[in-house]
A and B are shown apart, each in its own frame.
Chain A
Amino acid sequence: MVGYKQQPGKLPFSKPGSGGKNSFSKPIEENMIPSSQGGKLKQPWGPHRHDSLVSGQVIGKDTALVDSNWKVTGQAHYGDDVRIKGELIGRIVRSPHHYARVISIDCSRALKLPGVVAVATGADANNKFGVLPVTKDEHAMAVDKVRHAGDLVACVAAEDEATAREAERLIEVEYEILDSIHDMRDGLKDSFEPIHDRGKYHIGESNVQKRVFQEFGDVSGMLSSSVASYKEDWVFAGVNHAFTEPHAVVAHWDPTGRLTLYTPQQVPHYVHRALADVLEIPMHQINVHRTFVGGGFGGKSDPFPHEMCAAILARKSGRPVRLTFDREEVYWVNRGRHPSRIEMNLHADEEGRICGIETDALIDGGAFASFGHVTTYYNGVLHTAPYEIGSFHYTGARVWTNKPASGAMRGHGAVNSRCAVEVGLDHLAEQLSVDPISLRLANLLPPHSSTITGFRVTSIGMRECLERVRQESGWTKKFRRLPLGKGIGVGCGFFISGSGLPIHWDPNKFPHATVHLKIDMDGGVTVHTGAAEIGQGSDTVVAQSVAEVLGLPLDMIRIKSRESDTSPVDLGSYSSRVTFMNANAAISAAMDIRNNLIDATAQITNSDKQGLVIGDRRIFQKSDPSVGVSYLEALHKAQEDRGALISSGAYRTPPMGKTHKGAAAGLAPAYSFSAYAAEVTVDVETGQINVEKVWAAHDCGKALNPLAVKGQIIGSCHMGMGQVLSEEMRYSRNGSLLNPDLLDYKIPSVHEMPEVTPIIVESNDPEGPFGAKEAGEGPLLPILPAVCNAVYDAIGVRPSELPLTPEKVFKLIEKRCKSEGILDPLHLSPPSLNYSDLQTTLENRASEHSTRDISRRLNEERSEYYNGALFGLDPSIPPDQSDPSWAVRVTPDQSYLDDPRLAGSAWKHTERRKRGEEK
């Protein structure tokens, strides 16, 4: 049981070190030392390159977040908690119109109001910015046009909030209202007044911001071998991150003329760059101070106009400016998941192989590009695994509409199309009369293979996830055997663990993550990192990594990750990259120090340094533990003549992937896998769905902090449950957002949450820190299809529109009743299943593949494996080289354009430059 002994100023602390003979430090915990190093930790997935660095301290132990005491005592300061003497309060004037030209702004009345200190408009900041360098299309405030209701027009700073709000009202803006578009399908058409002008790169005269065409494998051949297929037009509503902390920012120009921006940001580095662009000052004159972040989930990862506004107001007024959002404004900024229309086609052949996936995804980007360029790719490429597939066709388009911008949200771009794929697989299994888990198990890519799109898959624990879920949920007893109204369903997920290329292109091979360590006389380790702690526990993971390598208790590590002035550049908390990249950087920095300590110990003890190991606060000979010194002794020896030990470590992704256009999107140094089973109850008379239980297996490589991994899994379930059951940004017929508040935007409360059983699968990634991969976003993907498939198991209807509100579900039930001539829905029969012969074929294949996978993951001498081997191609040659019909195509040919799908019709437009216009 936990103790109850927290005593500020009298904390139970760790002693910094002990000698070889006396026993300050604890004996090595054999259970935490990997078997490859002679310990008792079993390694069914083989040894890892970091095994020798394990000192048995904290890796793999449930660990409280290192900053949690700040949070539980109310001393954690978030964006709005930063107070600087003499601060002004900022407010933003927002557009009431969906789309309009700003004719004039008159601030004179506002400026006359006593207490108003500064007013700024678009004229104060002309430069564009945006998170992606290729699509910078935002201004601090409207220059020429406002593009959605809630778009920024002007801002004001005043002595107090009441005055600022009054001044906001007194700023008079004259608009010329333009024709707005709200349906994403209208964005594909030519327009008199496209929402943005991309100059010569503009696609037709349309509102298409980005379009993608990709074909891999034998697409035309696939239809001929298909014996079962799935075709569905999916509609996904847009959802918002709904983090609890509204955006807030404080800008302060200090007496030396430098700007400090206090902001709850996931990616302080990109804000840093954008501020320099917009304010036209060099980056070294800016200190971006990340406050505690009250939830991000992707929604605090763009550089935001309001951050620019605060800095501009502070510069104009010469005083600090604090600017905090109302909850409604959070929805105006949005950057949530794209509303999408996805046409999903799946094909299976007579051997139960997935011979084709055809996806056409139209996504609604709202008024700005944000991360949309990447999202458009992710909607396609992130569902080409974990299965081995015969062909893949993807057309995607992102259009601008006059709505708050969509952007990155947990599971970026992968969530909606993954849901459609997994529901489709369930349908294929139904058609083939096989078990959906067996179908999946017989089509998985092996470890150390390459997907059809050329992504390098290293570790893969998909099979174990599915098997664990099948076992723990009692799947075989439940699937297709539960009474009407009760059902169980399965879904899988696949997600990147860090993106292969940084957002800002780096010709100079700049690292993705850098960590600096400093140890002075006191023995405590100061870690400087730019990784953004947003509640996911990144500070804790980096502290754990350093503590493990140096054999120190966690309380001897202190993390300094807040300020760009003192932290090395880290690209930020997005793409589930932090644990993988930052912990790798931290390990390499700690190894440097470790070597210093071992050298010093060898000198003191006059023994061979090869045999020295680090245990708990001691460095000693492995063969004779009595020969050794305390950590502090070794440290002080190492500091002779040089003072503090300082080291730097960095991580950069290895070169990988193919070379076609868009090949970099979706590339990652490792991928996470997950499988969920969900059990639901559907009230057949009302359409109300209750999710009762979820078994959630996630392959995170190695759980460095299992407590946090479980928290991420359960939290992901919560967020995904919201999207599948109740969350929706609702727009009225004239395009107004109807529910910009937490009352009408329904996130699940504690009562809606099912009992989640988190299952951690550790596939020991060869390049991950101690084997770890991501656990933040991937776990969200499977919950949506698992619930949809469970609904089918319960009442025999296949949803294709989210969220599954009772109205929608009841309509589906009514439709089924009508088609079967049944009056009372209680008389419906739940779907049943009789296995066909194919079931045995699949089970045999799955069992063969299981043996293959185990040998591939343990055998270092393994051969190459390219997607396509299951279809008879040579596994050791890339499929496009062994069979010309598998060639990669990234532009549509004329025959496709004769009858394109919805998003595919974006390719009917010709870019201005190709029409000879150089505008």
Chain B
Amino acid sequence: MVQYRLPMLPHPEEIEWTAEVNGAETTLHIENNAVLLDVLREKAGSLGTKRGCDMGTCGCCSVLIDGDPRLSCLTLASEADGTSITTVEGLSDGHHLHPIQQTFTEFGGSQCGFCTPGFLVVISALLSENSSPSDEEIKSAIEGNLCRCTGFQQIVDSVRAASDILVAGDRVEDSTSAKSDPHPGFGEEV
């Protein structure tokens, strides 16, 4: 049987690829020309990482590679071999939302929500470097991300609020500890 393939795209070789995705050691067999966004979405199960434009213009596909924000649509998966990757799914620690996730909901940082994962990972990187960024620093951090719903203002508000939380260190106790109240608020007014 005749195989029709694009002449400039010979069948790629499969390679073994290892990375720490959201804290979990992940080993996958991928094509050597695979784009990181495709690997994350199709093989590593991170459907939270969004595909908006495929050419690095919208920022929806942002992920953290070894803590730095990167556009996964412009990164070959092989470049990220052996790194530690954080997507939006890895921002909460399983029990707590990251402060920026919490404030995005409460300050209107997210409307349709499609650009939200990209913003969240970029902002989480900003906040881990600088827990009280100035407005200008916030704006430069998110300048590569497009949002068509919010006009950015409520996103900046959310970052400021998250920064307040981080600076105040207002965290609840570890909910996995034995003393943690399984039903916080029970018996009192909520």
Chain A residues in the interface with B (C-beta under 8 A): 1-8, 10, 12-15, 23-26, 62, 64-65, 67-78, 80-81, 83, 109, 112-114, 162, 165-166, 169-170, 241-246, 292-297, 324, 326-327, 534-537, 553, 707-708, 710-711, 714-719, 741-743, 747, 749-751, 753, 755-756
Contact = CB atoms under 8 A, between A and B. Distances in A.
Interface stretch (B13-21, B42-50, B76-84): B42-50
A8 B54 CA distance: 33
A742 B146 contact: yes
Most buried by B among A6, A13, A293, A534: A6
A398 B47 CA distance: 42
A74 B185 contact: no
B31 to A, nearest CB: 9
A714 B153 contact: yes
Contacts of B190: 12-15, 553
B2 interface: yes
A72 B57 contact: no
Query: Chain B interface residue count: which class?
Result: 35 or more
A81 B47 contact: yes
15 contacts: A1-B164, A6-B101, A14-B190, A69-B105, A71-B105, A74-B48, A74-B87, A78-B114, A81-B47, A292-B112, A297-B148, A534-B112, A715-B111, A741-B53, A750-B155
Contact of B184 (A12, A166, A241): A12
Interface string B44-77: 0011111111110110100000000000000000
Contact of B92 (A73, A83, A718): A73
Contacts of B88: 72-74
B142 interface: yes
Nearest to B6: A166
B178 interface: no
B150 interface: yes
Contacts of A70: 113
Contacts of B168: 1
Contact of A535 (B1, B9, B53, B149): B149
A48 to B, nearest CB: 26
A72 B55 contact: no
B147 A112 contact: no
Contacts of A75: 48, 89
Contacts of A76: 113
Contacts of A73: 48, 88-89, 91-92, 97, 101
B39 interface: no
Interface in B80-124: 87-89, 91-92, 94-97, 99, 101-108, 110-117, 120
A72 B116 contact: yes
Contact of B189 (A7, A26, A165, A718): A26
Given A73-B48, A166-B4, A718-B151, A1 B185 contact: no
Contact of A4 (B55, B102, B116, B143): B102
B139 interface: yes
B148 A162 contact: no
A295 B55 contact: no
Contacts, number: 236
Given A13-B183, A68-B110, A246-B51, 18 more contacts: A1-B161, A2-B102, A2-B106, A6-B96, A13-B190, A72-B101, A72-B105, A73-B91, A74-B49, A112-B4, A113-B3, A242-B148, A324-B51, A535-B113, A710-B154, A711-B154, A714-B151, A742-B146
A536 B146 contact: no
Nearest to B53: A327
Given A12-B184, A74-B48, A714-B150, A742 B142 contact: no
Contacts of A716: 151
A867 B53 CA distance: 49
Given A76-B113, A295-B114, A714-B153, A751 B139 contact: yes
Contacts of B55: 327, 741-743
B125 interface: no
Interface of B: 1-6, 9, 46-55, 57-58, 60, 87-89, 91-92, 94-97, 99, 101-108, 110-117, 120, 139, 142-143, 145-156, 161, 164-165, 168, 170-172, 175, 180, 182-186, 189-190
Contacts of A14: 190
B106 to A, nearest CB: 5
A764 B97 CA distance: 38
A293 B161 CA distance: 27
A644 to B, nearest CB: 25
Contact of A244 (B4, B96, B148): B148
Given A6-B102, A26-B189, A74-B89, A244 B146 contact: yes
B150 A715 contact: yes
Nearest to B103: A2
B43 to A, nearest CB: 12
B189 A23 contact: yes
A241 B149 CA distance: 10
Given A2-B165, A65-B105, A292-B113, A750 B139 contact: yes
Given A749-B143, A750-B139, A245 B149 contact: no
10 pairs of A and B residues whose beta carbons are closest in the complex: A74-B48, A535-B112, A294-B114, A71-B113, A718-B151, A74-B88, A68-B105, A714-B151, A742-B57, A72-B101
Contacts of B106: 2, 62, 64
Contacts of A23: 189
Given A73-B48, A756-B151, A10 B97 contact: no
B9 A162 contact: yes
B172 A5 contact: yes
B189 A112 contact: no
Contacts of B112: 243-245, 292-296, 534-535
Contact of B165 (A1, A71, A742): A1
Contact of A327 (B54, B171, B185): B54
A118 B96 CA distance: 46
A225 to B, nearest CB: 43
Contacts of B117: 74
Q: Which of A10, A25, A166 has the most CB of B within 10 A?
A: A10
